[in-house]
């Protein structure tokens, strides 16, 4: 059995275990969205899906920005945006590793070399983790204090550390032995990409906050929602084979928002999952519409190494 297969099986096992935890939690506390009819919840999910698709577009545009110099001369960023949007839905079948595989294959068809795509993928993974950690720490990572009674709240200023670490992929940081395996990006490109990923996590956490406010009908502090949602996204992202973080994200959100009414929080988590699923599907349809009627790029020229 190959390491890739083992990682996929482990990811599915963890995902299913966390999903079972969330299902048992829902069975215990129930689901409630007081004051909202079923048709209102459906409308909320549809509107949220469109907003989440816009957040995915931020990721696609950031991906295109990182690879813009790798495109054939005279080619705009459209093929890169298409490949990202089309590959986004692949993380559900069967897991997040396939998302990168699908995007890689589409990128090669657009005329980009394997080394450039691999370098961009490593850069994206690294910068996404740094950006998500910065947002999560900015509010003190409340899920840690909820699980571990004696765990002190993290100071907000510690969010500077993952932001500073993001620049390990920039050219000036290459004198550090630990960062030499990372692709070499200009400082301005790292800063622009990091801003894009921070915007994505802000939108991601903001949507979860809206789900909480919709379900609970009382004032909800947005900071813990942003932090918990970012941490939940990271938990699902770093586990290979977990399909779109299923189960992992729900488990983290359940624990992180424990002080709030349980039935309403459970409802907000279900709504949030439906919104992200719908948003990924809308993004996929957008990528498919962009690619319609286009002939594949056959003018693949030699590329300089990814820098």
Predicted TM-score (pTM) of this structure: 0.80
User: Which pair of tokens denotes residue 170?
Assistant: 């920039």
Instruction: Let me know the angle formed at the C-alpha of 249 by 287 and 121, rounded to the nearest 5 degrees.
Output: 45
Amino acid 35: pLDDT: 77
Mean pLDDT of the chain: 76
Q: In the structure, what pLDDT confidence band is assigned to residue 142 with cuts at 50, 70 and 90?
A: low
Q: What is the DSSP string of the chain?
A: --HHHHHHHHHHHHHHHHHHHHHHHHHHH----TT--HHHHHHHHHHHHHHHHHHHHHHHHHHHHHTGGGSPTT--SHHHHHHHHHHHGGGGTT-HHHHHHHHHHHHHHTT--HHHHHHHHHHHHHHHHHHHHHHHHHTT-HHHHHH-TTPPPPPGGGGHHHHHHHGGGBGGGGGSGGGTTS--B-HHHHHHHHHHHHHHHHHHHHHHHHHHHHHH-S---HHHHHHHHHHHHHHHHSSTT-GGGTTHHHHHHHHHTTTS-HHHHHHHHHHHHHHHHHHHHHHHHHHHHHHTTPPP-------PPP-
Chain segment 149-202, per-residue pLDDT in tens: 555 666 777 778 888 888 877 755 555 555 555 666 778 888 899 999 999 999
Confidence bin at 304 (pLDDT 50/70/90): very low
Confidence at 208, pLDDT banded by 50, 70, 90: very high
Q: What is the C-alpha to C-alpha distance for residues 132 and 201, in angstroms, rounded to an integer? A: 6
What tens digit of pLDDT does each residue of 79-132 get? 888 888 887 776 666 556 667 777 777 777 777 777 788 888 888 888 999 999
- Give the pLDDT of residue 51: 96
Range scoring the smallest mean pLDDT among 12-21, 54-63, 229-238, 242-251? 12-21
- Whether 38 has a pLDDT exceeding 50, the answer reads yes
| pLDDT over 90, % of the chain | 17
- pLDDT in the model for residue 298: 46
Query: For the residues 207-216, what does the mean pLDDT come to?
Result: 90
Q: What is the mean pLDDT of residues 260-266?
A: 77
More confident residue, 123 or 305: 123
Confidence of residue 251 (pLDDT cuts 50, 70, 90): confident
- Token look-up 């940081």 returns 173
Range in 103-117, 201-215, 222-236 the model is least confident about: 103-117
Tokens 């406010």 identify what position? 213
């Amino acid at each position: 059995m190959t390491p890739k297969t083992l990682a996929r099986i482990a990811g599915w096992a963890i995902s299913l275990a966390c999903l079972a935890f969330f299902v048992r939690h829902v069975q215990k506390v129930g689901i409630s969205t007081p004051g909202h009819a079923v048709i209102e919840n459906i409308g909320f999910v549809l509107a949220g899906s469109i907003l989440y698709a816009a957040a995915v577009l931020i990721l696609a545009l950031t991906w295109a920005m990182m690879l813009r110099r790798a495109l054939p001369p005279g080619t705009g960023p459209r093929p890169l945006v298409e490949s990202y949007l089309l590959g986004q839905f692949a993380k559900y079948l069967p897991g997040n590793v396939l998302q990168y595989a699908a995007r890689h294959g589409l990128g090669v068809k657009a005329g980009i070399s394997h080394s450039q795509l691999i370098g961009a993928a490593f850069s994206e993974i690294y910068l996404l983790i740094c950006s998500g950690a910065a947002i999560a720490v900015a509010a003190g990572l409340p899920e840690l204090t909820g699980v571990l009674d004696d765990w002190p709240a993290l100071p907000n200023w510690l969010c500077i550390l993952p932001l500073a670490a993001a620049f390990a992929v920039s050219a000036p940081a290459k004198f550090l032995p630990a960062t030499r395996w990372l692709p070499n990006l200009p400082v301005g490109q790292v800063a622009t990409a990091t801003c894009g990923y921070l915007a994505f996590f802000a939108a991601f956490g903001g949507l979860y906050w809206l789900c909480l406010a919709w379900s609970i009908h009382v004032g909800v502090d947005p900071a813990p929602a942003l932090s918990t949602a970012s941490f939940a996204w990271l938990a699902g992202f770093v586990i290979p084979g977990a399909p779109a973080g299923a189960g992992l994200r729900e488990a983290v959100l359940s624990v992180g928002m424990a002080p709030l009414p349980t039935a309403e929080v459970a409802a907000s988590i279900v709504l949030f999952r439906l919104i992200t699923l719908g948003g990924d599907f809308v993004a996929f349809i957008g990528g498919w519409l962009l690619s319609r009627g286009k002939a594949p790029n056959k003018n693949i020229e030699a590329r300089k190494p990814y820098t």
